[in-house]
Amino acid sequence: MSKFIDLRSDTVTRPTPAMYEAMLSAPVGDDTYGEDPTVNALQARVAAMLGFEAALLVPTGTQGNLCAILAHCGRGDEYIVGQMAHCYRWEGGGAAVLGGVQPQPIEHEADGTLSLASIRAAVKPDNEHHAITRLLTLENTLGGKVMPLPYLESAAALAAERGLATHLDGARLMNAAVAQAAVSGATPEHEARRIAAHFDSVSMCFSKGLGAPAGSVLCGSPAFIAGARRIRKLCGGAMRQAGVLAEAALYALDHHVARLAEDHRLARHLYDGLQGIPDLNIDPPDTNIVFLDLKSRSAAERSAELLQVLRDAGIVVSGHYRLRLVTHMDVDEADIGRVIGAIRAFYPKARM
């Protein structure tokens, strides 16, 4: 029987046997009392790597972003965010529902950035009719696109000029760092710190391409993290012997960062292998995410047909709003070859 290929997301990755082994031997304590040595070691390591004084382990990236927004903002405040940003579109409206913090979404540019003019225009005047704009949130990578460092510097400078705090949803921060390192020749850790330097807080996820079963780390100042820790508690995110999860994240930092380059290579191989199909618009990937758009008049119907053909071939991809194919540590070159073959078979007249 052929291997089942899951390209819906890099969240579907499973811990490796070596990661499981490390988790089994992790020293643990009660993290709610601050006594889990492995959690403390992870928090200290990520904070130091990204250039912050403090950090906090949370169960999920969604909770990390929620804790960040609510620590930066109070009820009646607002945060500026992209229309397609995860912390606006895909996290249940948590900041508004639980914190009374209003999102102010703005459209993305073609490269995924938010224009500086749009950010500037979104900041509300100091007037009782308006929510108080407190925070600018950005995401890197966004849909697999790496946000350019000069852009991050300019956006952070604008935020400082307008008195806004800045938060980075760095769920796939290490994918961005690995992509930058391939160009700069520096280490991914160095590039991650260069990205993080432009923000007051950064969240980083370990359960995507890094392959841990759960967990994100939120970084910031000691005072900010103290506030975020209180929010984590009221949201039910305080854990006890969480060292087993922290050990998985530590293992990922030691063994799974450099290998993200292979995911990026496979995404490019997928992109190259689908060239020449007239019905497809395909975004060239910066990292590990490939988006497909069908151009035919019956695009929605054809997309559903293609999804079913792939399912019948033992392949699943995401089709929420566009077709999204995400490479990760549990797929290899042969798997991507099968995916290319299945899609090309759906378009038998397409040129190679």
- What does the domain layout of the chain look like in residue ranges? 15-255, 259-346
In total, the chain counts a number of residues equal to 352
Residue 319: name the closest of 10, 8, 5 by CA. Answer: 8
Cβ contact 82:106 at 8 Å = yes
Residue 187 has pLDDT above 60, yes or no: yes
- Any bridge partners for residue 105, and if so which? 81
Res 69: pLDDT: 98
Cβ contact 181:195 at 8 Å = no
Res 349: pLDDT: 67
Separation between Cα atoms, residue 217 and residue 231, nearest integer Å: 14
Separation between Cα atoms, residue 116 and residue 152, nearest integer Å: 10
Which H or E element spans position 316?
strand 315-316
Tokens, residue 336:
């991507």
Separation between Cα atoms, residue 77 and residue 162, nearest integer Å: 15
Q: Report which DSSP code applies to 11.
A: G
- Any bridge partners for residue 138, and if so which? 168
Separation between Cα atoms, residue 36 and residue 245, nearest integer Å: 11
Separation between Cα atoms, residue 177 and residue 288, nearest integer Å: 13
Res 295: pLDDT: 83
Tokens, residue 102:
């209003």
Which H or E element spans position 64?
helix 61-72
- What is the mean predicted confidence (pLDDT) over 340-348? 93
Query: What is the CATH T-level fold of the domain 15-255, as seen in this structure?
Result: Aspartate Aminotransferase; domain 2 (3.40.640)
Res 351: pLDDT: 59
Order of all β-strands in the sheet with 216-220: 54-58, 216-220, 201-205, 165-170, 132-139, 77-82, 102-106
CA dihedral for 11, 204, 147, 88, sign (positive or negative): positive
Residue 122: name the closest of 96, 100, 104 by CA. Answer: 104
Mean pLDDT score of the chain: 96
For the beta carbon of residue 183, count every other beta carbon within 10 angstroms. 9
- 348 pLDDT tier (thresholds 50, 70, 90): confident
Q: Which residue has the tokens 């819906």?
A: 8
pLDDT digits (tens, 9 = 90+) for 133-185: 999 999 999 999 999 999 999 999 999 999 999 999 999 999 999 999 999 99
Query: Are domains 15-255 and 259-346 of this chain identical in fold?
Result: no
Cβ contact 44:34 at 8 Å = no
Residue 352 has pLDDT above 60, yes or no: no
CATH 3.40.50.150 fits 259-346, yes or no: no
% of residues, the chain, pLDDT over 90: 92
Cβ contact 63:70 at 8 Å = no
Residue 274 has pLDDT above 80, yes or no: yes
